[in-house]
Structure 1
Amino acid sequence: MELNVHLCASDGELLPDPTRYRHIVGSLVYLGVTHSNISHAVHIQSQFVSAPIQLHYTHLLRVPRYLRGTISRRVFFPHSSSLQLQAYCDTTWASDSSNRRSLSAFCVFLSASLIAWKTKKQTIVSRSSADAELRAMALVTTEVTWLRWLLEDFGVSVSRPTSLFSESIGAISMALDPVKYELSKHVGVDAFYIRAQLQDGIVSPQYVSLEIQLVDLFTKAQTRARHRFYLSKLSVLDPP
């Protein structure tokens, strides 16, 4: 996707026949189950399937063009990795100009192997970036809890809390002690949910700097160099 381009529903005239647009988006949604590198682009384009315009279609064609140029790229799963979970979450606050809802994203690793990811618009408007980050933390905590149950069913013992990396110190502070933040009662449920999971040894929120926040790939467009950097960290590689 192009940098600093924010698509909206009222950028031009509607396509006379949106069938092809919808067909491509539907195919990309299906492909996104195994291609984490198109998650953000597909999320953005899928918001316009009801009434796409020519500009949306022009930007949509960038995705299959990118896939054609990276057809051999795939997720690498090393056989020697340990069976410990770690998760990253991030948010772009009020990124949707039409309703000011924030975009949440997360990715979960089993050791060095990427096994789960998601990009999703939040259902309500967050009043601050910390609120939005806290809701993203609650979203990934739910995913981590389910994955830990799944590993237990497979006979894999998961004793240590799962590291949950976020770049928001405010969200981490609210999760660690939600009682202190009386002005954030509107996000109290998420804060107390994360706190309960922390006390049960499910997750352990930790700070990660913006430079190595891997979930940036799922929340915003990147330069070519940063895109390649994130793919290398996510082990989305071309085979030798």
Structure 2
Amino acid sequence: MLEKFKRHMSKCFLMKDLGKAKYFLGIEIARGPEGMFLSQRKYALDIVSEVGMLASKPVSNPMEVNHKLLQVDSKSTSPFCKEPVKFWRLVGRLVYLTITRPDLSYSVHVLSQVMHKAREEHWDAAIRVIKYVKGSPGQGILLRADSDLKIRAFCDSDWCGCSRTRRSLSAYMVLLGNSPVAWRTKKQDTVSHSSAESGYRAMSDALKELKWLKRLLADLCVRHEEPMDLYCDSKSAIYIAANPVFHERTKHIEKDCHSVRDAVKAKLIATRHVRTNEQLADILTKALGSSAFHYLLSKFGVCNPHAPT
């Protein structure tokens, strides 16, 4: 079928077969008995070289814990960036780097919110991300060959995470077997009145991705008959999904309640509780310390074959 398709495309367009992909749009593809490894090593080193940080000392995590980068107003003592275009270009390149680097999602999410009024402290934070990338430029994701093709997801939220708008942050990580295939960090559209509500909205966002991935696997003739596991560290959000009676406090999230609860009832998903220190999506919602950051990163399915042994 593949050969027939290529012959047909050759008749329609001027093209040639270069074999299996090894490098595509900055993404390096390596194949082995363990599976397929995707990284952006050359692209990452180009970013580090462009900023002039090849000789810098690496850092262990991309962003400082308890940072206040979003609390920037007219009273800030930090001056504005002298070259804002340089900052915009750097953040834009980091956005593309998150294709194979889920560990950068939160830091890039924060930096992208301050591009309109970038200050020197924001530039320093971006440089810290570059120092982190410099320490692991070849890190990427491994799509394992021994995957059981079962989908499971981790969703998390940071209640009132934005210090300016007090809107919460939603994040999810979707694994196919033990391989990461989808992740996202996004600020919620409205202000949540409780941590349970913010967690429930995060479950709703993850559900949308799970539905799409299940349809995609079905198109590839991969059936997923069992309920997809959705892990959340908020017991309150899990109770709301299991409770058939609408509580007065959940009227304002009725749409999300319907979607998640219907999915549980239809056995499309099965909600599971996970401890906070085992919540993989936690790395996508806040800046963590070095030990917690690398512990969760080790469970992500990412690896760095270029790291010294």
Query: Secondary structure of the equivalent of 2:153?
Result: strand
Q: How does 1:24-173 map to 2 (within 5 A)?
A: 24-173=90-239
The aligned counterpart of 1:200 is 266
Q: Report 1 or 2 for greater relative contact order, CA contacts < 8 Å, sequence distance ≥ 6.
A: 1
Percent identical across equivalent pairs?
A: 35
The aligned counterpart of 2:64 is 2
Q: Report the alpha carbon displacement of residue 201 of structure 1 after superposing the two structures with TM.
A: 2.1
Structure-2 separation of matches of 1:185 and 1:211: 31
Q: Report the alpha carbon displacement of residue 14 of structure 1 after superposing the two structures with TM.
A: 2.0
Query: Secondary structure of the equivalent of 1:189?
Result: helix
- CA offset digits 1:132-161 (Å, max 9, x no partner): 000000000000000000000000011011
Structure-2 separation of matches of 1:111 and 1:7: 36
Work out the number of aligned pairs and report it. Answer: 240
So what's the TM-score if we normalise by structure 1? 0.97
Q: Report the alpha carbon displacement of residue 22 of structure 1 after superposing the two structures with TM.
A: 0.3
- CA offset digits 1:117-137 (Å, max 9, x no partner): 000000100000000000000
Structure 1 gap ranges (5+)? none
Q: Which protein shows a greater Rg?
A: 2
Regions of 4+ moved over 3 Å = none
Q: Report the alpha carbon displacement of residue 72 of structure 1 after superposing the two structures with TM.
A: 1.9
- CA offset digits 1:46-105 (Å, max 9, x no partner): 001111011111111111111111012111222112010000000010011111000110
Structure-1 separation of matches of 2:304 and 2:292: 17
Query: Secondary structure of the equivalent of 2:116?
Result: coil
Amino acid in structure 2 at the alignment position of 1:151 = L
Structure-2 separation of matches of 1:38 and 1:194: 28
- CA offset digits 1:4-41 (Å, max 9, x no partner): 11212323332233101100000011111221110010
Contact 1:32 1:38 (C-alpha < 8 Å) held by counterparts: yes
Q: Report the alpha carbon displacement of residue 212 of structure 1 after superposing the two structures with TM.
A: 0.6
Contact 1:178 1:188 (C-alpha < 8 Å) held by counterparts: no
Amino acid in structure 2 at the alignment position of 1:162 = M
Amino acid in structure 1 at the alignment position of 2:279 = Q
Which sits farther off after the overlay, 55-64 or 11-20?
Answer: 11-20
Amino acid in structure 2 at the alignment position of 1:204 = A
User: Which of 85, 92, 108 is the aligned partner of 1:19?
Assistant: 85
Amino acid in structure 2 at the alignment position of 1:216 = D
